[in-house]
Amino acid sequence: MVVTEYLERNARLYPDETALVELNPDDKETRRLTWKEYGLIQPTRHMPYRREITWSVFDEKANRFANMLIGRGIRKGDKVAILMYNCLEWLPIYFGVLKTGAIAVPFNFRYDADEILYCAELAEVDMIVFGPAFIGRIESIAEKLCEGRLLIYVGDGCPDYAESYRELVADCSSHSPGIELTEEDYGAIYFSSGTTGFPKAILHKHRSLTQAAEMEQKHHETSREDNFLCIPPLYHTGAKFHWMGSLVAGSKAVLLKGTKPETILSAISSEHCTIVWLLVPWAQDILDALDRGDIKLEDYELSQWRLMHIGAQPVPPSLIKRWKKYFPEHQYDTNYGLSESTGPGCVHLGMENIHKVGAIGVPGYRWACRIVDEQDNEVKQGEVGELCVKGPGVMTCYYRNEEATKEVLKDGWLYTGDMAMQDEDGFIFLVDRKKDVIVSGGENIYPVQIEDFIRKMDKVKDVAVIGLPDRRLGEKTAAIIEAKDGMELTEEEVAEFCNGLPRYKRPKEIIFTEIPRNATGKIEKPKLRKMYGADRLVEQENKG
């Protein structure tokens, strides 16, 4: 069964029930969106802008988009990229792509123009669907993007180099295009990166999408009575496939724009959400606001909230201990995964295992795990090795990158690059990452990109960028800099220079010292992490 069949089933069984709600507490642009075709804005004290669609309208929107794509020449196996912020149009567009048999290619909305072009060419994208926030980036590369590609714009004021989504779908049929799909058909391409920062295109079949959806529903026992609050971006495998538990259950979900503690709690309260997926920084912010007295739980209706789960980065045990003080009745789960395994869940703690907080958990539904040494031999219990996973959600390949595929796929096993150990009860704990990718606030940051940028400073002799433990973000970016002999370099100079980077890539800490390199000239980042990270982690955990 492919995931589009779940949508069609819900439209048939629950046509007039709400499928999706979009809340925009701070986004004034909502006034200019095409909200009238979805439902009336319903002002509330905290949520002034609200849109919703039923399951039948969701399916009709997906069908209209699918039929438009077919009319514009999109065929099975073609690729359609989506570059949009979370909104009520996002998922119907995604499912419309799937219904044609084309491959959905979500783009990270943090990509700059060069990264958009790189990924479009790498994935051999035939069409790009984009929203208002990306007009500038798309315009700067429009001439190159338009070479053999269609550009579809979702919003008001369509630029002249694109076509209007609204006008294109207006007269399209709301009936299914009737394209036959199987779980062996290709369904989606997601992007990931290694330590070099260059994205790899991860190709998945429909069976991966179905596996993720059914696994999420099973892991969190999502029922028709549940209501899932989705805050992270839908381009991310985590957000989309956590939501797909609601798709399988046929239950309501809320897309929230905004991460302030009062915004999150207001959404949970006003929409009666029962399941909430948070990133570590957002959970930390809620707890800090409660500690300061900035928000009070009695001001919100939260009795229906049953499950809080976290993913995308390691979770400090002290955070969950604090959480349980305020929310003693909450179920809790954490999920481990990667885009190559269709997102979170190949390993999960399990709602019944809160006593094992600190572990990433046990193999997920239909998944198997093993921990191996460099000779591919399974290590003994308690010993550290590389975590490998196997299941129906493993990617097909890195698209157009056979060499990289062979490095991580062996006899059906996906080699994650994460170092782990298993305790006497069978629970898996992450120890370290083979890769140097920094996970800060749930976002991947690639050190090489920042190092290359900082090396452009005249006074810099050498630089290494590492992640240091951070109580709120999980990790923060630190630049270890060695100045050229006889030159003085200040934090202020480096910070000012780094303003040329996107905000989320700017180092949060700058340290001046000699950069250690091994005999082959490679920077010894494990040594730097040990020098500047271990003591800080212990100190932060003690404070927690």
Q: For the segment 309-363, what is each residue's pLDDT rounded down to a tens digit?
A: 987 666 778 789 999 999 999 999 999 999 999 989 999 999 999 999 989 999 9
Q: What percent of the chain lies above the pLDDT cut of 90?
A: 71
pLDDT exceeds 80 at position 532:
yes
Give the helix/strand (H/E) hosting 334: strand 331-338
pLDDT of the residue at 440: 84
Residue 159 token pair: 């630029």
Task: Taking the CA atoms of 314, 318, 322 and 327 in sequence, report the sign of the dihedral they define.
Answer: positive
Sorted by sequence, the CB contacts under 8 Å of residue 144 that are 6+ apart come out as: 117
Q: Which residues pair with 158 in a beta bridge?
A: none
pLDDT of the residue at 485: 80
Boundaries of every domain in the chain: 438-543
- Over residues 249-257, the mean pLDDT reads 97
pLDDT of the residue at 31: 40
pLDDT exceeds 50 at position 42:
no
End-to-end CA distance of the chain: 46
Q: Round to whole Å and give the CA distance between 202 and 254.
A: 28
Cβ atoms of 494 and 481 closer than 8 Å: yes
- Over residues 260-281, the mean pLDDT reads 94
Q: Round to whole Å and give the CA distance between 523 and 462.
A: 10
Highest averaged pLDDT of the listed ranges 236-240, 374-378, 389-393: 389-393
Task: Taking the CA atoms of 183, 185, 188 and 191 in sequence, report the sign of the dihedral they define.
Answer: positive
pLDDT exceeds 50 at position 32:
no
Exposed, middle or buried by CB within 10 Å (0-12, 13-18, 19+), for 258?
middle
Q: Which residues pair with 397 in a beta bridge?
A: 203
pLDDT exceeds 70 at position 40:
no
- Over residues 1-28, the mean pLDDT reads 92
The long-range contacts involving 494-497, CB below 8 angstroms and separated by at least 24 positions, are 494/454, 494/457, 497/454, 497/457
- Over residues 48-56, the mean pLDDT reads 89
- Over residues 369-396, the mean pLDDT reads 95
Q: Round to whole Å and give the CA distance between 365 and 362.
A: 10
pLDDT exceeds 70 at position 436:
yes
Q: Round to whole Å and give the CA distance between 229 and 528.
A: 39
> What is the average pLDDT score of the chain?
89
Q: What is the CATH number of domain 438-543?
A: 3.30.300.30
pLDDT of the residue at 252: 98
pLDDT of the residue at 462: 87
Residue 441 — φ and ψ, nearest 5°?
60, 30
pLDDT exceeds 60 at position 35:
no
pLDDT exceeds 50 at position 36:
no
Q: What percent of the chain lies above the pLDDT cut of 70?
A: 91
**Beta carbons within 10 angstroms of residue 486's beta carbon:** 6
Q: Which residues pair with 445 in a beta bridge?
A: 438
pLDDT band (50, 70, 90) for residue 541: low
Antiparallel, parallel or unpaired: β 331-338 and 397-398: unpaired
pTM, full prediction:
0.83
pLDDT digits (tens, 9 = 90+) for 475-525: 899 999 999 888 899 999 999 999 999 888 999 999 999 988 754 446 778
Looking at 179-188, 206-215, 296-305, 427-436, which range is the least confident one? Answer: 427-436
CA-closest candidate to residue 201, choices 186, 185, 222:
186
pLDDT digits (tens, 9 = 90+) for 235-244: 988 889 999 9
- Over residues 165-190, the mean pLDDT reads 97
pLDDT of the residue at 454: 92
pLDDT of the residue at 205: 98
